[in-house]
Amino acid sequence: MQTQWTYHLACRSASLGKIVFGPPTPEGDETFVLFDEWIHSEHEYSPQEGLVEIAKRYFRGHGGATIDDFAWWTGL
């Protein structure tokens, strides 16, 4: 019997911020990498700066979105 415990363990580790999805293998399989080794922050944002940055990225990627769309998406 094949179980999915390794996948569930990986998802739990991701929810705790320990790992993130990495680049797929040449065969298209998913990979995981350690968060601290893969994600590098070049800038520490204040809460206000962070909200401005999220808004910029959201509207850049969701052309035609409204403020109400953004509020719904962020849960604000």
pLDDT digits (tens, 9 = 90+) for 27-67: 988 888 998 888 887 788 899 999 999 999 999 999 899 99
Query: Is there a single domain that holds both residue 70 and residue 53?
Result: yes
Total domains in the fold of the chain: 2
Calpha distance 44→36 (Å, rounded): 15
Query: Is there a single domain that holds both residue 33 and residue 54?
Result: no
Our CA angle for 23, 29, 32, nearest 5°, is 50
| Residue type for position 31 | T
Query: Is there a single domain that holds both residue 56 and residue 28?
Result: no
pLDDT at 1 over 80: no
Model pTM score? 0.50
Residues 6+ apart with CB under 8 A from 34: 18, 19
Query: Is there a single domain that holds both residue 9 and residue 31?
Result: yes
Could you give the 3-state DSSP secondary structure of residue 33? strand
Calpha distance 39→53 (Å, rounded): 17
Query: Is there a single domain that holds both residue 47 and residue 66?
Result: yes
Query: Is there a single domain that holds both residue 50 and residue 22?
Result: no
Domain span at residue 54 reads 42-76
pLDDT at 4 over 90: no
Residue 2's pLDDT band (cuts 50, 70, 90) = low
